[in-house]
Amino acid sequence: MSITAFTNATLICPVGGEIKGETLLVENGIITGTGDAPEGATIIDCGGKMLSTGIVDLGVFKVDRAACRAGGIVRIGLMPDQSPVLDDPGVVQRAALIGRPDLWIHPIAAATRSLAGIDLAEMAVCVSAGAKAVGTGRGWIADSGVMHRVLAYAGDLGLTVIAHAEDGGLAADAVATEGETASRLGLPSAPAIAEALAIARDLMLAEETGAKLHIRQVTTAAGFDLIRAAKRRGVKVTCGITPAHLHLSDIAITDFRTFARLSPPLRDESDRQAALAAVADGTVDVIGSGHDPHGPEEKRLPFVDAEAGMAGAETLLPLALMLVRDERITLPRLFALLSANPAKVLGLDTGTLEPGKPADLMLFDADTPWMVSGDAFASAGNTPFDGFPVQGRALRLWKAGREIH
Looking at the domain assignment, is residue 269 inside a domain? yes
pLDDT in tens, 321-342: 999 999 999 999 999 999 999 9
Cα separation of 310 and 293, whole Å?
5
Looking at the domain assignment, is residue 125 inside a domain? yes
The mean pLDDT value for 5-33 works out to 94
pLDDT in tens, 142-166: 999 999 999 999 999 999 999 999 9
CA dihedral defined by 103, 322, 370, 297, rounded to 10 degrees?
A: 60
Cα separation of 11 and 293, whole Å?
32
Looking at the domain assignment, is residue 117 inside a domain? yes
Burial of 32 (0-12, 13-18, 19+ CB in 10 A): middle
Question: Is 59 within 8 Å of 74 (Cβ atoms)?
Answer: no
Provide the pLDDT for residue 1. Answer: 63
pLDDT band at 362 (very low <50, low <70, confident <90, very high): very high
- AA identity, residue 214: H
Reported pTM: 0.96
Q: Sign of torsion, CA 159 165 170 176?
A: negative
Residue 296 has pLDDT above 90, yes or no: no
Cα separation of 182 and 107, whole Å?
35
Looking at the domain assignment, is residue 175 inside a domain? yes
pLDDT in tens, 93-115: 999 999 889 999 999 999 999 99
Q: Which long-range contacts (CB under 8 A, 24 or more apart) does 96-102 make?
A: 96/129, 96/130, 96/131, 97/130, 98/63, 99/63, 99/65, 101/399, 101/400, 101/402, 102/65, 102/69, 102/399, 102/404
Looking at the domain assignment, is residue 363 inside a domain? no
Whichever domain contains 318, its CATH number is: 3.20.20.140
The mean pLDDT value for 211-227 works out to 98
pLDDT band at 23 (very low <50, low <70, confident <90, very high): very high
Buried b (16+ CB within 10 A) or exposed e, 207-232: bebebbbbbbbbbbbbbbebbbebbe
Mean pLDDT of the chain, nearest integer:
96
Question: Is 27 within 8 Å of 5 (Cβ atoms)?
Answer: no
Looking at the domain assignment, is residue 399 inside a domain? no
Provide the pLDDT for residue 379. Answer: 80
Provide the pLDDT for residue 16. Answer: 85
Question: Is 106 within 8 Å of 99 (Cβ atoms)?
Answer: no
Looking at the domain assignment, is residue 33 inside a domain? no
Question: Is 266 within 8 Å of 217 (Cβ atoms)?
Answer: no
Segments forming the whole domain that contains residue 328: 54-353+368-391
Give residues with Cβ within 8 angstroms of 238, minimum separation 6.
160, 212, 213, 214, 215, 285, 286, 341, 345
Looking at the domain assignment, is residue 34 inside a domain? no
pLDDT in tens, 61-97: 999 999 999 999 999 999 999 999 999 999 999 999 9
Q: How many domains does the chain have?
A: 1
